[in-house]
Amino acid sequence: MDAPYCSAFAALLLCAASAAPAAGAPKLVKLIKAARLIDSSGRVVTNAVLVIEDDRIVSVGGATPPPAGAQVIDVHTHMTYFWDGASGTRPRGNTRPAAVSMVLAQANLKKTLDAGVTTVRDLNASEYTDVAMRDLIRMGAWVGPRMFVAGYGLSITRQPFRPGAIPGPATADGVSEVIQRVRQQIAAGVDWVKVFGSTGSFEDVSQSQTFTYEEMKAAVDTAHALGKRIAIHSYGPDGARDAVRAGADSIEHATDIDDATIAEMARKGTWYVPTIDHNRYYAEHAGEYGFATGSVQRLNEFVARNLETARKAVKAGVKIAMGSDAVYSMFGENTRELGWLVKAGMTPAQALGAATANGAALLGMETSLGTLAPGFFADIVAVDGDPLSDVNVLIDRVRFVMKGGQVVVDRTGH
């Protein structure tokens, strides 16, 4: 087989993929030669050769044993939140039908792939447009990251941060309504259940618990009984405490988690997705959103407290996965969260692990995603530089992305 070699990048991963159909077989076989292949635990294989058939890796050869993952998973996005940046408009409050926003949101899918992210967990969308998007990508009709979706996030009737908002179809009050709404989401084909367990969103930095412990417990038990995992959004210590006690699989955002709850998360194996960077993004884009005066300072304080909580969680050994909470104009910045994870005390290798093997484990996909090994999906990101010495290389210098054996980004110049 012809396997053209490409100039390897300065330090890390990969060079070119060479595609050649195997004789007499319909399978598409690709070879990738990598100057250095880096794994989710920071192990390096030099002069590695990966063989890919169709969407899977069949072998990984090199001077040292096969490594795990160099694929990036973002476990908290809002892919259907689309804004075209038209002058005189704001990201929020557009009146387009949800299906129109979904079609336009293909731009978000592309920006996310360009950032090297080949799998996302998407946590809240209208009219099951996330389910449709996931299926279009799965069918090959659209190009985008592999999606795990949640449909409507459940809210209580009166969300103090949305004054005047008309309660949506996933509003629930009391245990029986919660059970019904969770079942509705699962019936509609979601992969995950999402619950808004506290206030706090966009410029609102309040963190009051919304659903009671009993309601959260009902949501968790119903999701689990139907074989689904559940993510609970919870800013502030109260929502997080009850979400962890109730048995949520992942806690999103969660500033100011108390020490006892952090210890319980470590003991129970509850995932923490800090999403620190999205409040940095809101602070930098306060004008674009039309946020009130003073919001930048409040958001920056929020970032500092979120980082402090993440630091405690890292120290306590809580399992952490990388989530961006990307919305609207934030797509493409998905992996900037990695920089915060390093600031929170992770080594670059551990931060990479949060975005690869940990993301896969959170999704329950640890036997097919997050690792570069035979039988796994051939999702590969090549960067120009060494992310183990500077994690920003993965943020700014992605040159090549393969998803399921297909080259979806190629800026190698070959």
Query: Which residues contribute to the site for Zn ion (CB under 5 A)?
Result: 325
Q: Which of residues 325 and 384 has its CB atom nearest to Zn ion in the complex? A: 325
How many angstroms from the chain centroid is the CA of residue 360? 10
How far apart (Å, rounded) are the C-alpha atoms in residues 133 and 193? Answer: 17
Q: How far is the CB of 327 from Zn ion (least distance, A)?
A: 7
Give, as one character, the DSSP assignment of residue 326. Answer: B
Tell me how far, at minimum, the Cβ of 20 lies from Zn ion, in Å: 43
**Nearest residue (CB) to Zn ion, 278 versus 298:** 278
Shortest distance, position 18 Cβ to Zn ion, whole Å: 40
- 109's enclosing H/E stretch is helix 106-114
Residue 323 CB partners (closer than 8 Å, separation 6+): 74, 75, 76, 77, 121, 252, 273, 274, 275, 337
Residue 16: CB minimum distance to Zn ion, A = 37
- Site of tokens 């009984």: 225
Tokens 């409050």 sit on residue = 93
Cα distance between residue 11 and residue 266, in whole Å: 35
Question: Could you give phi then psi for residue 407, rounded to 5 degrees?
Answer: -75, 115
Instruction: CB nearer to Zn ion: give 79 or 313.
Output: 79
Give the residue with the Cβ less far from Zn ion, 144 or 153.
153
CB-closest chain residue to Zn ion: 325
Least distance from Zn ion to the Cβ atom of residue 168, Å: 15
**Residue with Cβ nearer Zn ion (74 or 386):** 74
Q: Is 131 exposed, middle or buried (0-12, 13-18, 19+ CB in 10 A)?
A: buried
Q: For Zn ion, which is the closer residue by CB, 325 or 333?
A: 325
In terms of CB distance, is 277 or 325 closer to Zn ion? 325
Q: How far is the CB of 122 from Zn ion (least distance, A)?
A: 9
Structure tokens at 6: 């490409």
Q: Residue 149 and residue 146: Cα distance in Å, rounded?
A: 10
**Least separation in angstroms between CB 269 and Zn ion:** 22
Name the helix (H) or strand (E) containing 46: strand 44-53
